Amino acid sequence: MPRTNCKAKMTDACIRGVVEAIHASPTQAVVYIAGGASQALGMLMSIPGATNTVLEAVVPYSRMSMIQLLAQIPNQFCSQQTAVNMALLAYNRALKLSRPGAPVLGVGFTGALASTHPKLGDHRFHLSTRTSDRLWVSTVTLSKGLRTREQEDKVSSHLLLKAMASACKVPATFNSELTDSETVDECEQQFSEDQELEQIINGEICFKVYPFLNETQVFNEERKIILSGSFNPLHDGHLKLLEVATRICGNGYPCFELSAVNADKSPLSVSQIKDRVKQFEKVGMTVIISNQPYFYKKAEFFPGSAFVIGADTAARLIDPKYYDGDSGKMVEVLSGCKRTGCTFFVAGRNIDGVFKVLEDFDIPEVVRDSFVSIPVEEFRMDISSTEIRKRSGM
């Protein structure tokens, strides 16, 4: 057998091993690529286990497709900054699509490789990966005329897979196939927990999951059962309500959600967020820190989820006062929540001294099936964080 064929077979075997290791890791990824590395998608998808890893793969190849993805016209379509922006968008998308608590990865790639017409500039590509605590970016400049387009695509594909393996914390030791004259410029930035939380507050990333729940049987549940609140403090009523709602739902991953950004107040500080997170660690319950106080935005972040709310929150959701006095806008917003597959499980609550349940409200017909009542015999605890704070002098 010719030596070149032996080398190719060895490389193929190494690549297969790397992809299998990526699929065996718990990391779930969204991949955005343009201008190269297309063979990487075939390698990822053709080797068994892709369902474990690939949440979504998008190829924004045309100019308009890239502009729509980035929501802006980049200074350069093939640049390090564009790859970084793509990776960040992919990371946020992966957060929304992933299993609760699973580590996620965003991959961005943009290249200017050999084409039907000779290029004036370098043949190059930019590759970036983003995880919760790390941003990595690489620029590779290839030797013009050394390879065909297909060969350049293969080289870039192998390096993309190697970068994914590194982000998934699995080994990838195969030869990169670059020559000594070809340049690789890499850099990375590590993020502390405080920096991650700052990124949530300023809107750079959409949320962070603290997966304190230890029950492995619910890990693979994609549907989230979410109780949102300020949790200042977390109390037994919160814990019992989520427990009851989870039992009624029948399946799903129970978790709490705390928005660092408030509709009417200043954002929480990083130290305040960390103090509240400690409450959930003590009781072994997962909490998500987001930056969206509004349920229609939460529905976009957590599609298909069941939101557990009190009757007081339900009353606000259907009150046109909170939609600029426009009942049509209220129905439109709630219909948008319904289209994401979200539902609202409503528990009874004291409102101005009167105990109210879902049946006491006139829910618009078009969204009525999105609201489910939690029976009073299943849950009633007349306790609130506000009352606890008053009693304790907080």
Distance CA 215, CA 42 (A): 35
pLDDT at position 6 is: 45
Domain identity same for 233 and 296: yes
Domain identity same for 309 and 243: yes
- Would the pLDDT of 318 be above 80? yes
Residue 147 belongs to domain with CATH number: 3.90.950.20
pLDDT at position 118 is: 84
Does residue 253 contact residue 220 with C-beta atoms inside 8 Å? no
pLDDT at position 1 is: 38
3-state SS class at 63: helix
pLDDT at position 177 is: 86
Domain identity same for 99 and 183: yes
Report the sign of the C-alpha dihedral through residues 12, 129, 32, 125, in that order: negative
* pLDDT band per the 50, 70, 90 thresholds, residue 375: very high
| pLDDT, the chain, mean | 93
Domain identity same for 250 and 348: yes
Distance CA 53, CA 119 (A): 35
Q: How far is CA 150 from the centre of its chain?
A: 33
pLDDT at position 2 is: 42
pLDDT at position 3 is: 43
- Would the pLDDT of 176 be above 80? no
Beta bridge partners of 226: 255, 307
Domain identity same for 249 and 358: yes
Residue 379 belongs to domain with CATH number: 3.40.50.620
pLDDT at position 32 is: 98
Tally of residues, the chain: 394
Number of domains in the chain: 2
Domain identity same for 112 and 51: yes
- Write down the H helix ranges in the chain: 3-24, 38-46, 50-53, 63-70, 80-97, 149-167, 193-201, 236-249, 270-283, 295-301, 311-317, 327-339, 385-392
36: alpha, beta or left, given left = phi > 0 and alpha = psi -120 to 50?
A: left
Domain identity same for 168 and 229: no
Domain identity same for 112 and 211: no
- Would the pLDDT of 390 be above 70? no
Domain identity same for 155 and 238: no
What is the pLDDT averaged over residues 72-89? 97
pLDDT at position 147 is: 96
Domain identity same for 185 and 38: yes
pLDDT 10s digits, 190-249: 999 999 999 999 999 999 999 998 765 555 577 899 999 999 999 999 999 999 999 999
pLDDT at position 392 is: 66
Q: Which of 172, 190, 208 is the last residue of a domain?
A: 190
Which residue range forms the structural domain that includes residue 255? 195-392
- Would the pLDDT of 256 be above 70? yes
Comparing 216-220, 261-265, 358-362, 364-368, the range with the smallest average pLDDT is 216-220
pLDDT at position 8 is: 56
- Would the pLDDT of 301 be above 60? yes
Distance CA 118, CA 210 (A): 50
Q: Which of 136, 162, 190 is the last residue of a domain?
A: 190
Whole-structure pTM value? 0.92
Domain identity same for 65 and 83: yes
What is the pLDDT averaged over residues 316-341? 97
Nearest-5° Cα angle at 101, 157 to 209 = 105
pLDDT at position 101 is: 82
pLDDT at position 385 is: 66
What is the pLDDT averaged over residues 38-63? 97
- Would the pLDDT of 186 be above 80? yes
pLDDT at position 28 is: 98
pLDDT at position 250 is: 85
- Would the pLDDT of 378 be above 70? yes
Comparing 4-18, 43-57, 265-279, the range with the smallest average pLDDT is 4-18
What is the pLDDT averaged over residues 137-159? 96
Domain identity same for 26 and 56: yes
Distance CA 88, CA 75 (A): 17
* pLDDT band per the 50, 70, 90 thresholds, residue 393: low
Q: Which of 190, 221, 242 is the last residue of a domain?
A: 190
